[in-house]
Amino acid sequence: MESVSWGRKGMKGISVWIWIIGGLIIGLVMFTIFIQFLSYITRAREVESAKATFQELAGNARSICQTIAGAGSSKLEKTYVFPDAVSDLYSVNSTSKSTAVPSEPRSYGRYICMKIYEESICENIKCNVEMSNIKNVPSLTTTINKIMGRIGTKEYQLGITKVSCGVSVLKYGEVPRDFCIDKCSEVISLVGCQDHTTVSLVGNNTLVMTDFNPISDCCGNYPGALNFLRNVAKYFGGNKILLVWESNFTNPANERYAVINDALRADGFEVTSFRHKEKITPAVLEGKDQLWVYLPGWCSEQPEVQRTVECTEFTKWEQGEYEAIRNFANSDSKLFIVTDHSPYTKQTVANNILYNMGQNARVLETKVCGSQGSIVKTNNVTSNYITQGINEFSFLAASEIIC
């Protein structure tokens, strides 16, 4: 009898646990449904709020664009409040490309676009638009707000200014560029390789080369490299050159670069170096005539490289540095950017420097000439003071400069 009684009690206990577990499962399902419903309601409210603010921004930009330059109403400064769900604000030329969010600090086109969740919404401003690319990175607070059913917001203070061929929509304090001018007419291809430009003179103050090997392996496999570098220094003029580097591999104090530094010093130049473990400021650039930047972003933009011995010390590039370089170059000083291509290279910093200088030229990350271990020689050399005495140039995995 005792065993029967225990069995009944055991069955009753199991039955109770089944009810408890079942109740927990049902409760969890109901809670999940509630959270999903709350998330749906929150998302719908976010999209509605974002569209309303976006329509206001687009309408203001369109209105300013239609004013006469110089009129009292040709400029507007206003704070726009967007939900956290808006990840990007930018400009494009065609809505068919609206999903490709530009990575540069500024974008250009006839449409202002907003990306919210997976959707890109664009408005035709009916004139040319220069716009600060605004990116909002979700935070822990964003996630908490979603769980609680709250709409987190971000405020953006923007200045909308009429310019000669359109309108500039920029973060407060930023200055519009004369983007109406065809900047590509200022980009001169000096050396090409396999139908792609690999060395370009941009305007009258900037030179870009997309392969670092002529410097790192100077000068046995690259017989024209030393003559080229000496020509660059002489063409830019002055007598003080600052070399900026962030990778141990590009440390100008390494013995492998002695032949270049010695040649420049023999030509009367004072050569100093500055490692990008500290920020570039006007004080760093003061008194210098030329700035040579070796592989900008090699460490700071590449997590897979940061763990190597090449990158024991470095700091991320910031907007203030781009502005310092722009002001330096615009004050009759000169800039030489040497980037590269490899499986790791990112051109983010090099392109940010160019964009902040108001240039449309940019460097692609694709390899267009040569490969690791295979040097390509080219005689596609434009006659110029910088290429004087050079009929042939060599590259080892170079990228392309386009405009």
- 378 and 290 within one domain: yes
Question: What is the average pLDDT across 33-38?
Answer: 59
Q: What is the pLDDT of residue 142?
A: 59
Q: How far is CA 206 from CA 181, 213, 298, 304, 350, in A?
A: 18, 20, 20, 30, 12
Last residue of a domain, one of 128, 148, 171: 171
- Banded pLDDT at 16 (limits 50, 70, 90): low
Q: What is the pLDDT of residue 75?
A: 87
- The answer to whether residue 359 is domain-embedded is yes
- 350 and 204 within one domain: yes
Q: What is the pLDDT of residue 210?
A: 94
Q: Tell me the per-residue pLDDT of 245-270, one tens digit each, with 9 for 90 and over.
A: 999 989 999 998 999 999 999 999 99
- 255 and 151 within one domain: no
Report which of 365, 352, 343, 371 is spatially closest to residue 213, judged by C-alpha positions. 371
- The answer to whether residue 176 is domain-embedded is no
d(CA 63, CA 262): 59
Q: What is the pLDDT of residue 258?
A: 93
How many Cβ atoms are within 10 Å of 209's Cβ, its own excluded? 27
Q: What is the pLDDT of residue 266?
A: 96
Number of domains the chain is built from: 2
Last residue of a domain, one of 171, 193, 227: 171
Q: Is 212 helix (H, G, I), strand (E, B) or coil?
A: coil
Give the β-pairing of 334-338 and 153-163: unpaired
Q: For residue 114, what are the domain limits?
A: 45-171
- Banded pLDDT at 6 (limits 50, 70, 90): very low
Q: What is the pLDDT of residue 274?
A: 94
- Banded pLDDT at 59 (limits 50, 70, 90): very high
- The answer to whether residue 178 is domain-embedded is no
- 270 and 375 within one domain: yes
Q: Tell me the per-residue pLDDT of 140-193, one tens digit each, with 9 for 90 and over.
A: 665 665 655 566 888 999 999 988 778 999 998 888 877 777 778 788 999 999
- The answer to whether residue 1 is domain-embedded is no
Beta bridge partners of 317: none
Q: What is the pLDDT of residue 85?
A: 87
Q: What is the pLDDT of residue 37?
A: 56
Q: What is the pLDDT of residue 12?
A: 55
How many CA atoms does the CB half-sphere of 398 hold within 13 Å? 30
Q: What is the pLDDT of residue 29?
A: 66
The predicted model scores a pTM of 0.64
- 138 and 213 within one domain: no
- 355 and 251 within one domain: yes
Q: How far is CA 232 from CA 119, 128, 190, 289, 334, in A?
A: 47, 36, 12, 12, 10
Q: What is the pLDDT of residue 30?
A: 67
CB of 240 closer than 8 Å to CB of 290: yes
Question: What is the average pLDDT across 277-305?
Answer: 92
- The answer to whether residue 391 is domain-embedded is yes
Last residue of a domain, one of 171, 206, 229: 171
Q: Which of 135-149, 274-288, 383-397 has the highest mean pLDDT?
A: 274-288
* Res 98 pLDDT > 90: no
Q: Tell me the per-residue pLDDT of 107-116, one tens digit each, with 9 for 90 and over.
A: 888 899 999 8
Question: What is the average pLDDT across 224-250?
Answer: 93
d(CA 280, CA 192): 31
Contacts of 354 (CB under 8 A, 6+ apart): 202, 206, 208, 337, 361, 362, 363
- 291 and 388 within one domain: yes
- The answer to whether residue 7 is domain-embedded is no
Q: Which of 32-41, 84-93, 136-145, 336-345 has the highest mean pLDDT?
A: 84-93
- 199 and 163 within one domain: no
- Banded pLDDT at 371 (limits 50, 70, 90): confident
Average pLDDT, the chain: 84
- 189 and 164 within one domain: no
Which residue has 């409040």 as its token pair? 81
d(CA 18, CA 231): 85
The one-letter amino acid code at 297 reads: G
- The answer to whether residue 53 is domain-embedded is yes
Question: What is the average pLDDT across 35-58?
Answer: 80
Q: Tell me the per-residue pLDDT of 62-95, one tens digit each, with 9 for 90 and over.
A: 999 887 544 446 889 999 999 988 999 999 887 7
- 191 and 112 within one domain: no
- The answer to whether residue 398 is domain-embedded is yes
- 268 and 143 within one domain: no
- 208 and 129 within one domain: no
Q: What percent of the chain has pLDDT over 70?
A: 84
